Homo-oligomer: A and B are copies of this chain.
């Protein structure tokens, strides 16, 4: 077979604010690849099916010498993100042609993933019947794992039924006070936040969620949030003052929202510091008025990354979550971008929040 074009999205320059397609990243068609003969050197040739655009990718658009939890993009080379692909040829043990793989993939139609990446190296998975592949980069992948691992490890959620030992009292009080603790989830419509809402409802909590559009607010309600609001048109402080105090805050956004959550935290609240999308595209800093309440109210803030918690929770996650997604017990949404040539725009959309569900870049059909 003759060599074919291998379209790729390259990192072109480090942005100062929001990433711009055509400037921060460029789509390149200059490379060709001979699928039958390209040397694998012990590796795996993967055809990319779907790629993920995630908030943390902004953190990778930095000068390469600055350390952070995800490796930097290198100017002139393809960007990379989590994705699902199909093995075309393999010289690597544990991988064979036809396998579905999940892990970090270059934004390229075809790639030979390095076996040496520090995290999110590709793994083989068997898709759950009835569940489309793209779910494995969202609720069934890293974002869903983030929700599941973090919630299990740190939320220490108390539903009303766990607070009581007397069955009769329990039934009586459950009727009067149907909820246990209260959790606030910012970024509630995203793939992480929306699964957190569902895990929290499963645990019997009252859930407050914020999102950036009325459509996203509706999705928060659809997946079970008791209170959901558009933070662009409604004051977060007003909602939390009315609906709090908060026993748990799942923080996807940081900044002023974090300050508002601290102001409305209950004593001994747990804050799950999962992301800070409001801060990724600005170096201005944010004025915080309530940090002294961290000690006064004995709040514990847990900064965490999904990768650290994988050894403890990954096996349980894959046993529990894909089934619930396939059956529809747990809901998720996707916002599909078609074509790798549009991955730069997809990445920007996630940073500006204009996506309407988990952003999925469909690169190819099988």
Q: How far is the CA of A37 from the CA of B200 in the complex (A)?
A: 61
Q: Out of B68, B292, B300, B305, name the residue touching A276 (CB < 8 Å).
A: B292
Residues of B within 8 A of A296 (CB): 59, 68-69, 303, 305
A227 CB within 8 Å of chain B? no
A288 CB within 8 Å of chain B? yes
Interchain CB contact under 8 A, A294 and B303: yes
Residues of B within 8 A of A295 (CB): 251, 273-276, 303-305
Which stretch (A180-188, A201-209, A278-286, A320-328) binds chain B? A278-286
Q: How far is the CA of A218 from the CA of B279 in the complex (A)?
A: 39
Listed in ascending order, the chain A residues whose CB lies under 8 Å from chain B are 59, 68-69, 251, 254-255, 258, 267, 273-276, 279-280, 283-289, 291-305, 308
Interchain CB contact under 8 A, A297 and B291: no
- Give the residue name and chain of the B residue nearest to A297 (CB): B303
Interchain CB contact under 8 A, B288 and A273: no
Interchain CB contact under 8 A, B303 and A279: no
What are 18 contact pairs spanning A and B, CB under 8 A? A69-B296, A254-B292, A273-B294, A273-B295, A276-B291, A276-B295, A280-B292, A286-B287, A287-B288, A295-B304, A296-B303, A298-B303, A298-B304, A298-B305, A299-B301, A299-B303, A300-B301, A300-B302
Interchain CB contact under 8 A, B289 and A288: no
- Give the residue name and chain of the B residue nearest to A288 (CB): B288
Residues of B within 8 A of A308 (CB): 298
- Give the residue name and chain of the B residue nearest to A309 (CB): B298
Q: How far is the CA of A284 from the CA of B290 in the complex (A)?
A: 10
Interchain CB contact under 8 A, B298 and A291: no
